């Protein structure tokens, strides 16, 4: 069903390039050839082979261990509207993704909605769980860090990382769980961060565009699976980089690359945003632009201790 939508690209004039798949790379090679300047995406096939999550993280594992957690399954990537439900209920929903998910509708502020939103074109996607923040022991399941990146986020003191996350209103690590058809529509990640998607269960298809093609992407409004060239005529000047992610694959996305990711099967994915020497200044500039939030984060962190 969803593969046929993606194949529409092949019937247009849009240029397509398969994303290179590599193994046994060096961090220096990736830093120099994939993360400098505009950069280029790459799939590393052996980055997570020693992660306990690869064998441990199943749908049954999350349902049994954390099923009582409340989480928000989102209508869209921006998270403005979603349905609050138990994790166990959502996991049961994965096999019937267009059925009614039990729970209650909430807005971005977490307050219940007076009326439900209009039905979406893709199923509800679990983006709002905050798994690592709520259950820090899950970090142990995604170690060692992927060997092909020099990740400065992992080197941060826990309190500093908490302050940075507070200032950006984003978490550096996330667990995404979704059914077949789940969609992260075309967007750029926050704060000039690089990112990787590490696939644990199921398949996904990712379609990426260079930031150099931003003028052709209409602020992400264009749908690269079903492009409307009459409405978005400049889109045919863009170049699509695409791949199918299998369990064990890790897709590296350089900072500011646009990406559109569709679940081809029900899936579990680890998403990580990070910075290294190539984007450190850009990320810090992004954080410092929001000084009030940064100060508030410091005040709420362990840096700020009330006198005894």
DSSP characters over 142-191 = G-SPPTT---STTTS-HHHHHHHHHHHT--SEEEEEE-TT-EEEEE--ST
| Residue 168: domain span | 2-300
How much is the pLDDT for 3? 43
In a domain, residue 268? The reply is: yes
3-state SS, residue 205: strand
Half-sphere exposure of 299 (CA within 13 A, CB side): 6
Q: Per the domain annotation, does 100 fall within a domain?
A: yes
For residue 305, tell me if it sits in a domain: no
Residue 306 lies in a domain: no
Q: Which helix (H) or strand (E) holds 261?
A: strand 258-263
Backbone dihedral angles phi then psi of residue 144, each to the nearest 5 degrees: -70, 160
What CATH number did the domain enclosing 94 receive?
Answer: 2.60.120.650
Query: How many other β-carbons are positioned within 10 Å of the β-carbon of residue 290?
Result: 16
Q: Give the model's pLDDT for residue 115.
A: 85
Residue 62, classified by CB atoms within 10 Å of its CB into exposed (0-12), middle (13-18) or buried (19+), is buried
pLDDT score at 76: 79
Number of domains the chain is built from: 1
> Is there a contact between 146 and 152 (Cβ–Cβ < 8 Å)?
no
Neighbours of 183 (CB within 10 A): 20
Name which of 255, 271, 147 is nearest 199 in CA terms.
271
Q: Report the alpha-carbon distance of residue 131 to residue 128 in Å, rounded.
A: 9
Structure tokens at 26: 């060096």
Does residue 90 form part of some domain?
yes
In a domain, 308, yes or no: no
User: Per-residue confidence of the chain (308 residues) as pLDDT tens digits?
Assistant: 444 444 444 445 789 999 999 999 999 999 999 999 999 999 999 999 999 999 999 999 999 999 999 999 998 777 689 999 999 999 999 999 888 999 999 998 888 998 888 877 789 999 989 999 999 999 999 999 999 999 999 999 988 898 889 888 899 999 999 999 999 999 999 999 999 999 999 999 999 999 999 999 999 999 999 999 999 999 999 999 999 999 999 999 999 999 999 999 999 999 999 999 999 999 999 888 876 666 666 666 654 444 44
Give the strands of the sheet with 81-86, arranged side by side: 21-22, 42-44, 250-253, 194-201, 267-274, 173-178, 125-128, 70-74, 81-86, 104-107
Which segments of 171-249 are extended strands (E)?
A: 173-178, 183-187, 194-201, 204-209, 239-245
Place of tokens 């978490």: 171
* Structure confidence at residue 186 (pLDDT): 97
User: Would you say residue 31 lies in a domain?
Assistant: yes
In a domain, residue 307? The reply is no
* Predicted pLDDT at 85: 96
């Amino acid at each position: 069903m969803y593969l046929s939508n993606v194949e529409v690209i092949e019937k247009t004039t849009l240029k397509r390039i398969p994303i290179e798949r590599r193994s046994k790379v060096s961090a220096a090679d990736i830093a120099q050839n994939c993360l400098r300047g505009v950069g280029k995406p790459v799939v590393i096939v052996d980055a997570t082979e020693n992660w306990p999550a690869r064998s441990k993280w199943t749908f049954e594992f999350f349902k049994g261990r954390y099923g009582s957690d409340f989480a928000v399954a989102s209508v869209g990537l921006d998270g403005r509207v979603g349905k609050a439900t138990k994790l166990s209920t959502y996991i049961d929903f994965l096999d019937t993704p267009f059925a009614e998910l039990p729970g209650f509708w909430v807005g971005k502020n977490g307050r219940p909605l007076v009326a439900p939103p209009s039905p979406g074109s893709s199923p509800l996607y679990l983006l709002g769980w905050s798994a690592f923040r709520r259950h820090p022991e899950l970090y142990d399941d995604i170690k060692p860090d992927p060997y092909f990146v020099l990740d400065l986020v992992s080197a941060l003191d826990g309190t500093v990382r908490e302050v940075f996350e507070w200032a950006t209103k984003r978490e550096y690590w996330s667990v995404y769980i979704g059914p077949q058809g789940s969609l992260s529509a075309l967007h750029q990640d926050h704060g000039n961060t690089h990112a990787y998607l590490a696939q644990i269960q199921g398949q996904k298809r990712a379609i990426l565009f260079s930031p150099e093609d931003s003028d052709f992407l209409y602020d992400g409004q264009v749908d690269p699976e079903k492009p409307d060239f009459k409405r978005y005529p400049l889109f045919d000047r863009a170049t699509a980089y695409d791949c199918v992610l299998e369990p064990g694959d890790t897709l590296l996305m350089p900072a500011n690359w646009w990406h559109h990711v569709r679940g081809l099967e029900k899936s579990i994915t680890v998403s990580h945003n990070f910075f290294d020497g190539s984007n450190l200044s850009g990320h810090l500039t992004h954080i410092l632009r929001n000084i009030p939030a940064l100060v508030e984060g410091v005040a709420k962190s362990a840096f700020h201790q009330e006198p005894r």
